[in-house]
Chain A
Amino acid sequence: MKRAALLWLVLVLAASAYLLTRLLGGVQFQTDFTALLPQEERDPGVQQAKDRVAQILNRRIVVLIGDRERATARAAGAALAEELRHSGLTASVTYTTSGDGLRKLGESFFRYRFGLLTAGDRALLQQGRGEEIVARALASVYGPIGIADANLLRHDPFLLLPTYLADLPRPLPRLAPDDGVLSTQDGQEHYVLITAELAGDPFALAFADRFVARFDQAEQRLRAATPDLRVLRLGTIFYAEAGAAAATRETSAISIVSLLGTVLLVLAVFRALRPLGLTLLAIGTGVICAFAVSLWLFGTLHVAALLFGVSLIGIALDYCLQYLTARFNPEDGTPAQRLRRVLPGIVLGITTTLIGYLTLLLAPFPGLRQVAVFSAVGLVASFATVLLWLPALDQAAPLAHGEGLLRAAGWLWEFWEEPRRRYRWPRQVLCAALAVAALLGAWRLRAEDDIRRYEALSPPLKQQEAELRRLTGINGGTEFLLVRAADEESALETEESLLDRLQQGKAEGVLSGFQAIAQVIPSAARQRDNRTLVRDRLMAPFLASYDERLGLPAGAAHDVGDPGPLTLAAIPAGSPLALLHDLDLGAGTGGAMHVVLLYGVARLGALRQIAEAVPGVRLIDPVGDLTRLLGQYRRRAVLVLALSALLMLPVVYWRYGLRGGMRVALPPAIAVLATPPLVALAGVPFTFFNAMALVLVLSVGFDYAVFCRETDAAHRPATMLGVWLAMATTLLSFGLLGASRVFAVHAFGITLLVGTLLAFFAAPVAGTSTTNRSRLSQGGQ
């Protein structure tokens, strides 16, 4: 035994050393959700695109400033833009788009003008209706809103370029420049728009704190000057900061209550510090070994696997407490005796639990495998510590102060099994009430994988977002299309055939808008084709009479030579179209990769069909992917749960026979089956997080039942005290998570809370077999 304990010490030290070197060596934990996908469903290109688009979307903030006085709104806008620009926290701030930027764009496009046709003009020329373009040009030249001077008419007689520029897609459909500032009017209020790109990661808490604090300060200063000013903000960073602030407050509250509660409970029961230290030692060695072995096996770990793994190891507490409460048995004087007393229960408990955890290995999902290995290794290590170290470290004599505690702990047993059937009625009423509640809940039970709907986002921010979206027409989601091709030209050509279909989809209400490079930069082939159309169907038949009619001097230079194709590189940085550069992900991929942003997607299915109809195009739906992933994981977890329950049955059958085995299986079965409907009664849907909590509930249920089954009448109170303590510590460490406002945490916590309580409540049922009954009646005589 001593040799084994020493060997175990060597192993734990080795694991600690390995873990330390890995952690100091800067191990990278996986955080992205695709790492949890089965291998064959991963695609590095898609991941890169997702990251890039997420970065574009997440790093942008949009601010709308409104006042009844136009001048006040503009002054406030300029002041805030200046403040943001000088904060050092933004990469760029856009407030004034000077006519200069537009003019530069016009200048850089001018050479290519005859290759650039709006979809409408192109269609007119293809149909041989060039005279309609001529009529429109004449109306513009003569009309009260004349945009042309003689110079423009000489070089672009039919005003094709102004038409093209006016037709370019606008990401902010309701805004228009007013004296250089993107503005809109709503009733009496004048609004101006500021957009900015952050210099840092909105999810990096320190950065988010700094930025939002700076922004709040600036807003307060503006309000001090103009109390009625409206400031509407939208950006991932505002939500991230508000969420993190709420979570930090909540987490510290929960963990303080949890830690204090656990410590006080253990101190109150044992009236000594040592049991607390021993408990921590058992859990600690478990986590260290689990961590080290998992890193060694997988090379890295996903943070989600880490969190679930640590939670699942928490069950080792049950075994530790069983051993520790054996000290309340007066006749078990030595640690060895105590260990012998509880060993059968612990071994059976850990066997069933291991079966439960290892079944997770059968799911072909990397996340679940990591959880399985992590929790199984941790559990075995904790068990080894209880077995090998605790008796050596715990030489104290039996505890004598426990009479009241033991009586209280034994009460639950009496409730189920007292001889005079005093509790028969309450028992029946309670069981019936539980059954009715579970049935009612089963009726409300439904699965949900789109956890966004349950995220508690800051309501004032949501309100501002809704208002800002209404005023600006911003309605972008997270979906986008990914276009991949061998080279830039074929990517543009692919986009062109895609754009025709998207236009059709827009007319049918599939989506409200889109933004693509090819809307601004036609493919070289299309530009050539456009030039031919302009030359043959517009210039040749109509130019001479047009010039004559306007009185343009003969010999005006209508330059239709080939300047080569307009390319993305021609768009100057800082121009209103600079965003297009963000849509080009081609660099470093060997081919071309473009993103097409989508706005106001109403029918995702129809959009998917559009994408599938064009080779090289793929619809990427990050939120939908996460929802599907969680759905797959949820279904797997439930299957695994059922399978592991089946696999546990032979173990209890082998030990207790058919009837006894059934009795032992009853409490965990009740807990696992009744918990989801009871939780559903509280309006919480069934998610992957509930399913993972149920894996733990099943193990806890078997543990409690096995402990109750293994004990005899004389030691029953000490056993029940151990079960009672295990239940209370589980609730303190995990059940409290039910109070969280983070949905996943809340779902996990509340399921564990209800499940553990049910498992605890029903545990004595496992012990009330005929053999126990005869012993009990002997004890009663």
Chain B
Amino acid sequence: MMRPLWFALLLVIAAAPLALGRPLEQPPLRPGESLSGRFVQERHLAGLTAPLVSEGRFLLAAGKGLVWHTEKPFDTTIVITPAGLLQLVDGREVQRLPAARAPLLARLYTMLGGALGGDWSAMAQDFSVERRSGEAGWTILLKPLAGDDPAAVPLQSIAIAGSAFVDSVEIHRPNGDWDHLTFSNEVRSSAPLAGADARLLETDAP
């Protein structure tokens, strides 16, 4: 059940640095570099009176992983590294999933690594990839291909749009639920990681 969301999340990350400068041509994030910014996520669930809105900041460190820190409406953090996944609420660990228990996660890392390097072939095994670029920016539309177990992919499409950076992502599910994410204040840096982020990615990683 967790699969589509991991996909979505990681594809966003893959696409974000891709959009830096010349898309699809050269690896945008070099080892030691990181990309950070803010996000707003709207989750539209059928039957709910209003979308669930959350916001916070993210950090992607090349070769290390991702920190997804939701600040509003409350504090929760997800850390994804090649070693696995860790979730914290108010700084307290509530879930930890080693990569060995989730081969999917490891596969996603392969895909991610490929996408960061401009190689979309790993992605193309599971998705049809449609790219368009125009004057104002570019879009990428991903649709899942049927796997061995269709029930495992309750995901309809992922649309990513951006210009210099990723601006927005929309994820649609078969039951009509959809998420809309917008990104802002994206900054690329080559300074070493520090503080809580460094700890989460370098020492606490599952």
B residues near A (Cβ < 8 Å) are 1-2, 5-6, 8-9, 41, 43, 45-50, 52, 54, 68, 70, 73-74, 76, 78, 87, 89-90, 94, 99-104, 106-107, 125, 147-149, 151-152, 175, 177, 179
Given contacts A146-B179, A153-B48, list 14 more A-B pairs with CB under 8 A.
A103-B151, A141-B43, A143-B78, A144-B5, A145-B87, A147-B1, A173-B101, A176-B101, A177-B152, A180-B148, A184-B103, A185-B103, A190-B103, A551-B50
14 A–B contacts from the bound complex (CB under 8 Å): A100-B151, A135-B89, A138-B74, A139-B94, A143-B78, A145-B87, A146-B179, A147-B2, A150-B45, A173-B101, A178-B103, A179-B149, A185-B107, A550-B52
| Interface pair A145/B2, CB less than 8 Å apart | yes
Q: Does A553 contact B (CB under 8 A)?
A: yes
Partner of B45 from A103, A149, A549 at Cβ < 8 Å: A149
Name the interface residues of A46-74: CB closer than 8 Å to any CB of B: 70-71, 74
Write the chain A residue with the least CB distance to B10: A144
B39 to chain A, nearest CB (A): 9
| Distance between B14 CB and nearest chain A CB, rounded to angstroms | 14
CA of A96 to CA of B2, assembled, Å: 18
Residues of B within 8 A of A7 (CB): none
- A553 and B175 alpha carbons, distance in the complex (Å): 19
Interface residue SS majority, chain B: mixed
Chain A residues with Cβ under 8 A from B52's Cβ? 141-142, 550-551
Query: Which residue of A71, A100, A145 contacts B5 across the interface (Cβ within 8 Å)?
Result: A145
Nearest-CB distance from B84 to chain A (Å)?
Answer: 11
Docked pose: A751 CA to B138 CA in angstroms:
85
A144 to B147: give the CA distance in the assembly, Å: 23
Q: Are A145 and B6 in contact (CB under 8 A)?
A: yes
Query: Closest approach, in angstroms, between the C-beta of A168 and any C-beta of chain B?
Result: 13
Closest residue of chain B to A471, judged by CB? B100
Inter-chain contact B41/A144, CB cutoff 8 Å = yes
Report the Cα distance A552→B147, complex, angstroms: 34
B66 to chain A, nearest CB (A): 10
Closest partner residue, chain A, to B50 (CB atom):
A551
Verify B149–A96 contact, CB threshold 8 A: yes
Whether B151 and A553, one on each chain, are in contact in the complex, defined by CB atoms closer than 8 angstroms, is no
Q: Are A176 and B103 in contact (CB under 8 A)?
A: yes
A770 is an interface residue with CB less than 8 A from chain B: no
- The CA of A178 and the CA of B3, in the complex, are separated in Å by 10
Contact A183 B103 (CB under 8 A): yes
Whether the Cβ atoms of A553 and B149 lie closer than 8 Å is no
**A150 x B149 contact (CB < 8 A):** no
Q: How far is the CB of B153 from chain A (nearest CB, A)?
A: 8
Q: Min CB distance, A131 to chain B, in Å?
A: 11
A185–B87 alpha-carbon span in the complex (Å): 22
B6 near A142 with CB under 8 A, answer no
B107 in complex: contacting residue of A98, A148, A178, CB < 8 Å: A178
Is A771 located at the chain interface by the 8 A CB criterion?
no
* Pair B90/A135 contact, Cβ less than 8 Å: yes
Given contacts A135-B74, A150-B46, are A174 and B149 in contact (CB under 8 A)? no
Q: Contact partner of B175 among A99, A139, A149, CB < 8 A? A: A149
Kindly state the separation between the CA atoms of A682 and B111 in the bound complex, as whole angstroms: 59
B152 neighbours in A (Cβ, 8 Å): 99, 177, 179-180
What per-residue 1/0 map shows which CB atoms of A145-182 lie under 8 Å from chain B?
11111110110000000100000000001111111110
| Contact for B100 among A143, A153, A174, CB less than 8 A | A174
Query: Given contacts A139-B74, A139-B76, A139-B89, is CB(A154)–CB(B1) below 8 Å?
Result: no
Enumerate A410-431 residues with CB–CB distance to B below 8 Å: none
A103: nearest chain-B partner, CB-CB: B151
* Cβ-based interface call for A136 (8 A): yes
* Complexed CA–CA distance, A48 and B38 (Å): 64
Interchain CB contact under 8 A, A74 and B48: no
Partner of A70, one of B48, B74, B99, B107: B107
Contacts of A154 in B (CB 8 A): 47
Q: Which 10 A/B pairs are nearest by Cβ-Cβ distance?
A: A180-B149, A150-B47, A99-B151, A551-B49, A139-B76, A178-B103, A183-B103, A150-B45, A142-B54, A551-B50
What B residues does A146 contact at CB under 8 A?
5, 43, 179
Roughly how many angstroms separate A154 CA and B54 CA in the complex, as a whole number?
Answer: 21
Residue pair A176, B149 in contact (C-beta under 8 Å): no
A136 near B94: Cβ-Cβ < 8 Å: yes
Cβ–Cβ contact A176 & B68, under 8 A: no
C-alpha spacing A103/B100, complex, angstroms: 23
Which of A149, A174, A551 contacts B101 (CB under 8 A)? A174
Please name all residues of chain A whose beta carbon is closer than 8 Å to the beta carbon of B74 when the two chains form the complex: 135, 138-139, 142
Task: Please give, as numbers and ranges, the residues of chain A lying within 8 Å of B41 by CB-CB distance.
Answer: 142, 144
Chain A residues, Cβ within 8 Å of B107: 70, 178, 185
Residues of A within 8 A of B104 (CB): 176, 178
Residues of chain B within 8 A (CB-CB) of A179 are: 147-149, 152
Complex CA–CA separation, A181 to B147 (angstroms) = 11
Name the A residues within 8 Å of B89 (CB-CB). Answer: 132, 135-136, 139
The residue of chain B having its C-beta at the shortest distance from the C-beta of A100 within the complex is B151
A150, B51: Cα distance in complex, Å:
11
Decide if A150 touches B48 in the complex (CB within 8 Å).
yes
Contact A96 B46 (CB under 8 A): no
**CA A184 to CA B104, docked complex, whole Å:** 9
Q: How far is the CB of A727 from chain B (nearest CB, A)?
A: 62
CA distance A138 to B70 in the complex (A): 12
**Shortest Cβ distance from B122 into chain A, in angstroms?**
10
- CB-based contact A551/B48 at 8 Å: yes
Question: In the bound complex, how far is the Cα of B152 from the Cα of A98, in angstroms?
Answer: 8
Q: In whole Å, how far is B188's beta carbon from the nearest beta carbon of chain A?
A: 22
